[in-house]
Each structure stands twice: as C-alpha cells, then as structure tokens.
Structure 1
C-alpha cells in the first residue's frame, strides 16, 4: 500500500495534463457523454480478462478502468462539481456505513445476513434520495439482460416470483407458443413484444438456477465463435469456402467439431 498513493497521484497528474489547455486535443474535446461508452467497454474487458484467468491482462484492463474513473472525476472537477478525492471519500463512507459489523458495533454476520442488511441499507439510501417503489433506482442504461435480472430480483424480494425453475420453464413454454402464434404475418412490433417476453422469462430462469444470464450468454457467444471458426478452418483446409458450401455440409462439419471438443474435454 505504501506505493499506491504516489502511483495514483501520478495518474491524476497525467489526466490533468491531458485535459490542460495545451494538452491532448482529443482528450480536451471529450465529455461525460462521449467517455461513458468507453467506461462500459473497459468494464466488460475487465470481465473478459477474469473469465480467461489472464492476470497480466486483468492488471492492464483494471488500469484502463481506473483511468475511466479518473477521467470522469477530472471533468467533474473542471465543472466545479466534485473531484477524485470526493469520489474516494464517498465510496469509503458508503462501505463503512454498509458494514457496521466490521467498522462499527453491530454483531458479526454471515453472508446471508450481510446480503439482507445490505439491501435494507440500500433501500434506506434510495428513500433518502426520494426514490420510492420496489423497482426504484435500477439504472435504465444497464445492459438489458443485467437490468432484467435486477428488476426480477427486486420484485422477488416482495414475493412476486415463480416458486421454482420448473414453473419458469412452464412459463417459457407458454411464451414460445405465443410467439409461434404471432409468426404468420405478424407485425414486427408484435413479434418483438413476444420475443422480449421470452427473453425476460429466460433471465428469470437463470436467476432461479443461480446463474448470471450475462455470463451465460458470453459463454455461449464464445462457444459459437470457437466452433464456427473451427468449422470454417476445416472446410478451408479441404479447399472449400463457406459461401460455396451447402448448409448440410456446414452442419456435418459443425457436428464433427462438437464431437472433437467433447473428445478433448
């Protein structure tokens, strides 16, 4: 910890220099709105490094994410709103407030008790900000799967929930049937509505199975990408190109790739 303060001070100085009148033109032109997409992107790159178990990449990506925090804090300081020190104080105060069993006189808690106390504290904080209602305070800008998961979890805390995964699967079958009924000549908005219902139910299924829907979809994306690339490589090695190969041949090669993966696992 001894070298953390000077390292952070150096980073803050670099950020201030980039935004100075004689700094980098690109950095000077940015705003909260233009930087926000990069902040989101960097958070996902952190998650990707963690999923890959790549510690050198994680160190690098955490640095990129920290730089995003510093960037926003610098712009806020220029606007006279707050600075990086205020950000650090705010989160420190919040963590102390939310952990009285560590920093205060409250009794020790296990994980379940801490989760319950955490939610009570967050509810009180939302009330202090005049955010009322069970679903208050869930940011609309969250990725849709993540926000659906948070909405469903919040509703479940007051008893609005399916009893078990089987009940969610029954609901999914119902939603599939409703989408199928819309398919013949349905308006795009009707199909979008029914497909959205299906996706929301699937998020709830993941929740009931204690799975993260974002992580599940990321893994499925990675699996599809890996298998598609392997299929394409096999066909290319045989002197064939995908545009010239029929679906049957691609499916057969896809199945060979899957079989090879299972054999190697």
Structure 2
C-alpha cells in the first residue's frame, strides 16, 4: 500500500542564537557546570514554569516590548530546561528535537486547511472544524473533560468547563445573575464578590473549585446518560 504523501512544509531557517542557548544550558547541566542546574528535575522546576508564565502575561498586559522579549526568553529557557532533563534519561527520555517534531506534527495535523485539502477560508470555519481535528489527533479521549488541566486557576478552569458543558448540550443550573456590561464591570463585580466572601471568612478559590468538582461530575453524568441513549456511542465521535 502506498503511504500518503507528507504535506509540504515551509523551508526552515537556521537559528544560531537558539542553538547557542541550548548549548549554554547543556554546559550548565554538564559535569563541571552549575550544581544547582544539574540537580533540577521536572518536579522541582514546576514552580518556576508557573512563575515565568505569569511574568510573561504581566509583561504582555502592562510592560514594554523589551519586557515581553525578556520574559519570552525565560519561558523558552524553561522549555529547553525540561527537554534537557528528559534527554538525560537516555532511551527513556526525549530531546528538544523530539519536542519540536511533536509540535510540528500537531500543528500540521490541526491545520488541514493549510497543509491538506480541507477548505476553511474563515476563522469561523476553522473554529467549527477545530474540535474534529483534535478528536482525530487524540482518539483515546472519551470525555469532553479530558485535556482540561486540573492545575488551572479556578476562574480559568470554570470558563473551560462551562465551554465543555456547552459541547455536550448540558446547561448547569446556576443562580440567576445580570450579565455585566463589559469586562471592567465584570472585574469590579468579581472583586466585590471576593471581598464579601473574605468578610465572611470564606475562601473564594476553594469555593469555586468545589463548585467545579460538582459541575464536572454533572457533565460526566450527562455524557454517560446521552451515550447510553445512543447505544453507548462515544460522545466524541
């Protein structure tokens, strides 16, 4: 059987500074380099990855282009650091080249309208097909909740879970509230709600996480119910 032709990719340009950064990191972690760098693990670096990501967001929202440049470098360094840790495991690990190859395959696969023969000329058409492309990429996922990180801040996770609820046609029963006019009003109302909770000795983050646990259980129940109604069909088909 003839294998399908690989999509034509754009030509790649050399990146000597990126290669130099990889070499600097490898030197720091090699014998005779930096003892602190050498002893780091995926787990020990997690807090720094989170911090660097938040610093980048802060630079984007409030800083200068130079601030964004610096913080992007810090996030990039974290990616390279984790890849170097994995590479040290030998056959059980992976390299930064493997990371790049996986990302290339993912982006090409998620853009068949660019690298294939699928037609999607507008952003709305791309969005309409996006979930289908992702399902083809990850066929082992059995729930719309798969892939929603548990480590997300509660408010961000709430937005994700509500979107996934929409995907399966589940409408959670929530207290009635007036829709805010804009993000400034929304921010003020959220802040006021946090202040009121604090005055009562309540923890807003934990409270929202508890509510999200209940929402997640309700979504899974809806998936099981609708799946059995269709003869056990996979909801992600």
TM band (smaller chain): 0.5 to 0.7
With over 3 angstroms needed to count, the CA separation of the structure-2 counterparts of 1:16 and 1:144, relative to structure 1, is same
Superposition RMSD in Å: 3.4
The unaligned stretches of length 5 or more in structure 1 are 171-175, 202-265
Q: 1:138 matched to which residue of 2?
A: 148
3-state DSSP of counterpart to 1:107: coil
Q: 2:28–2:38: 8 Å Cα contact kept in structure 1?
A: yes
Query: Are 1:103 and 2:115 an aligned pair?
Result: yes
With over 3 angstroms needed to count, the CA separation of the structure-2 counterparts of 1:99 and 1:168, relative to structure 1, is farther
Matches within 5 A, 1:1-265: 5-80=15-90, 81-127=93-139, 130-161=140-171, 167-169=176-178, 196-197=207-208
Q: 1:162–1:168: 8 Å Cα contact kept in structure 2?
A: no
TM-score (norm: length of structure 1): 0.60
With over 3 angstroms needed to count, the CA separation of the structure-2 counterparts of 1:102 and 1:22, relative to structure 1, is same
- Give the deviation of 1:142 after TM superposition: 2.0
Matched residue pairs, number? 184
- Give the deviation of 1:116 after TM superposition: 2.2
- Give the deviation of 1:2 after TM superposition: 8.6
- The structure whose Rg is larger is 1
Give per-residue Cα distances to partners, 1:128-176, cap 9 Å, x unaligned.
Answer: xx2311211212122222222211111112222379x994549xxxxx9
Q: For the residues of structure 2 that align with 1:13 and 1:30, how far apart are their CA atoms?
A: 17
Q: For the residues of structure 1 that align with 2:203 and 2:101, how far apart are their CA atoms?
A: 44
Task: Determine which structure has greater relative contact order: mean sequence separation of CA pairs < 8 Å that are 6+ residues apart, divided by chain length.
Answer: 2
TM-score (norm: length of structure 2): 0.67
Give per-residue Cα distances to partners, 1:165-211, cap 9 Å, x unaligned.
Answer: 994549xxxxx9xx99xx7xxxx8xx66997259969xxxxxxxxxx
Q: For the residues of structure 2 that align with 1:161 and 1:168, how far apart are their CA atoms?
A: 15
- Give the deviation of 1:84 after TM superposition: 0.4
The unaligned stretches of length 5 or more in structure 2 are 1-10, 180-192, 213-237
